[in-house]
Chains A and B, each alone.
Chain A
Amino acid sequence: MTPTRTVPIPAFLRRNAWDLGIWLLLVALVGYYTTLIPSFGDFQMASISKNSLPLVYLAIGQAIIVIAGGIDLSIGSQMVLSGAVAAQVMDERSFVATLILGMIIVLGGAVLNGIVGWVVNVSAVPDIVVTLATSFIWSGMALVVLPSPGGGTSPGFRELFTGSEFGTGTNYVNSMVMIVIPMVLFVYILRRRRVGLSVYAIGSDRNAAYLSGVDVRVAKIWSYAFGGAMAAMAGLATMAITGIGDPRASVGANATLKSVAAIVLGGVALTGGTGSIVGVVAAAIVLFFLNPILSAKGIDPNTAQVMEGSLIVIVMMIAGYSEHRRRRAT
């Protein structure tokens, strides 16, 4: 997504134009939001940063899988499953116990989705079909674990994600840290570690990656495992925000759609091999942030949904059309 210009601009800016643009958009939106509501303070900051956590996590997970050339239509169902499991096993437990259980759930999510990556490898069935089928399996399992909304966790665990033992408050530090840690971690893994580079390699050209010695199957499994871990994190965050688990499949389906929209807005091409986690995180926050902005403007949720969908289409139309024009010109 580099703009073609005659005036020389620094390479860093050119390479990261899309990321910068989306972060600037986020800053502009925050600035705009402060003019819309009578008082903008810590409470609003906390509310935005904590409520965007699940979508940020899902978008990071989806982005890694898509960069590796796949797509995961079950990522929302995994979120629902891990939230249901967490609410069931964490209820009435101490903070330390919930923390350990949370780590086990994240690890479990990684293993489970790693198996899905393995199935994609050996079955030769397209990613989209495999994950479509597994989305049924995960949401069914969520209902087995937690038949109706309920369960709970320790106050400390809620504070970890939301900055407050009750899920609402004015402390935005915790949730911001929880956004930054996975972002920095995965930027590091994807750009600096062998496994991350192989994820980009198989997404951009599987055969070329294979011929240059990348173990394409292992890289695929890793991408799915990372995605599964982030989906599990999203489930934990949702549960920490609401205080209970919600096993409804529709929640998961909706979250999957949003995760795909977020990564596309964040500059990840659905064909794989390009995109960065930094842009995706900003796009996920932007996508969530549209809700409070539109409701502050007094627009009802249905119109808000129409505007959100239209915005994604318009952005993609401009991006797709300019890409098309440029390719024809060269």
Chain B
Amino acid sequence: MTSTSPSIGFESDDDRLSGLAAARVYLAENSSLALAGVLVILVIATSVVEPDYFSFAGLRNTLLLAAPLGILAAAQTVLMLTGGIDLSVAMIATGAGYVAGNQSPAGAVVAILLGLLVGLLSGAANGVGVGVFRVNPLIMTLATSAILLGLFTQWAQSFLSGSTAVAPFISTLGAGSFLDHRVPYSVLVWAGISAMLLLLLHRSGFGRVVYGIGDNDVAMRLAGVRVWQVQIAVYTLAGLLAAVAGILLAGRTGAVDLQLASTFLLPSVAAAVIGGTSIFGGTGSYVGTILGALILSVLNSLLTFLNVGQAVQQIVYGSIVLVLAWGYAQLTGVHR
């Protein structure tokens, strides 16, 4: 195993690298390019398997899946940058989507706001647990997820019973497209969120504090940052993002149930990891996560077209996630 990370610049100044090693160093410094390469290869592979795929209709289906996944992975990325993780994103998304669907008779705006409220409250609860009470994020969010599942299962039989069909506006948002049915609206939502998030992370003081806490939270505290407040803020933000993703998913399926987003938990972590965000905090960017979410979505389409059955699909999916993460770690020399 070779460790390249700290010495790259030094070596390349001193002695000339061979072509292959130079390419490797270049890719390590521009890891998004490597990810984009993987994405292109996957799109081409899918087009070979299913020639119809390389069209607006085919790619649109992938994007409809990628948008909610990308937004959930955004929540995961922000938290992972601070050294945290959220295993409740899928349940928060499910709850938000369920509430939005159930309250649809009250109008789309009210429904969406109530859905977002679910995300806000659940995220804030996570933030208080992690920030104030120092509960390990893994445990805190796991428990939140279990509590939410219990609560919503109960509520679905009491005051949230009844309508499970979503309002037309929400289903347009989740499944509809514009420009002659080519670009989904959900991608528009995703693009807006991405732009805001990139500004927040790379062009604001808050973003620097997020990276700083992930790097060394003690140093940040000694530098005068109220770490617990930042943690409450990022977990709340993650809850809101998860809620947005859940509402889009509710719109995509058209009807809500309590399994809405359950399959998205592991891919949301995987997308961020493939994109190069360290699970230990401090390094990574949402750009990588966007590519990670796209790669996983195309992979999903590819496996669906191959028609290999659920079991083999899972094995291949897991193997490829592992290989990508492995390759990324070797390429960039990210070591624990």
Contacts and interface: CB of A to CB of B under 8 A. Distances in A.
B134 A321 contact: yes
A324 B154 CA distance: 35
B48 interface: no
Contact of B315 (A141, A147, A261, A306): A141
Contact of A257 (B133, B146, B310, B316): B146
B313 interface: yes
A123 B147 contact: no
A27 interface: no
Interface string B130-154: 0011111011101111110111011
B150 A260 contact: no
Given A124-B329, A136-B318, A303 B154 contact: yes
A323 B134 contact: yes
Contacts of B325: 123, 125, 129-130, 133
A140 interface: yes
A126 interface: yes
A63 B135 CA distance: 18
Contacts of A257: 87, 142, 145-146
Interface in A109-129: 119, 122-126, 128-129
A261 B138 CA distance: 10
B311 A147 contact: yes
Contact of A119 (B270, B278, B321, B322): B322
Nearest to A265: B139
- Per DSSP, chain A at the interface is helix
A320 B134 contact: yes
B313 A316 contact: no
A308 B134 contact: no
Interface string A304-327: 111011101100110011011000
A312 B317 contact: no
Nearest to B324: A133
B269 to A, nearest CB: 6
- Which of B273, B311, B330 is most buried by chain A, counting CB atoms within 10 A of its CB? B311
Contacts of A304: 150
B66 interface: no
Interface in A141-188: 141-144, 147
Interface string B320-332: 0110011001100
A137 B318 contact: yes
Interface in A55-106: 71
Contacts of A142: 311
Given A133-B318, A260-B142, A124 B279 contact: no
Contact of B1 (A124, A302, A323): A124
A229 interface: no
Contact of B322 (A130, A260, A308, A323): A130
B314 A270 contact: no
A133 B314 contact: no
Contacts of A124: 1, 329-330, 334-336
Given A124-B334, A126-B279, A320-B134, A270 B139 contact: yes
A219 interface: no
A267 B280 CA distance: 23
B312 interface: yes
A136 B147 contact: no
A245 to B, nearest CB: 14
Interface of A: 71, 119, 122-126, 128-130, 132-137, 139-144, 147, 249, 257, 260-261, 264, 270, 300, 302-306, 308-310, 312-313, 316-317, 320-321, 323-324
Given A132-B270, A144-B312, 9 more contacts: A124-B334, A129-B269, A133-B322, A136-B315, A306-B150, A312-B139, A313-B147, A316-B133, A316-B136
Q: Please give me the 10 A-B residue pairs with the lowest Cβ-Cβ distance, nearest first.
A: A136-B318, A140-B314, A305-B150, A143-B311, A140-B315, A309-B146, A133-B322, A306-B150, A320-B134, A309-B147
8 contacts: A123-B325, A124-B330, A132-B270, A132-B273, A134-B318, A143-B314, A310-B147, A320-B135
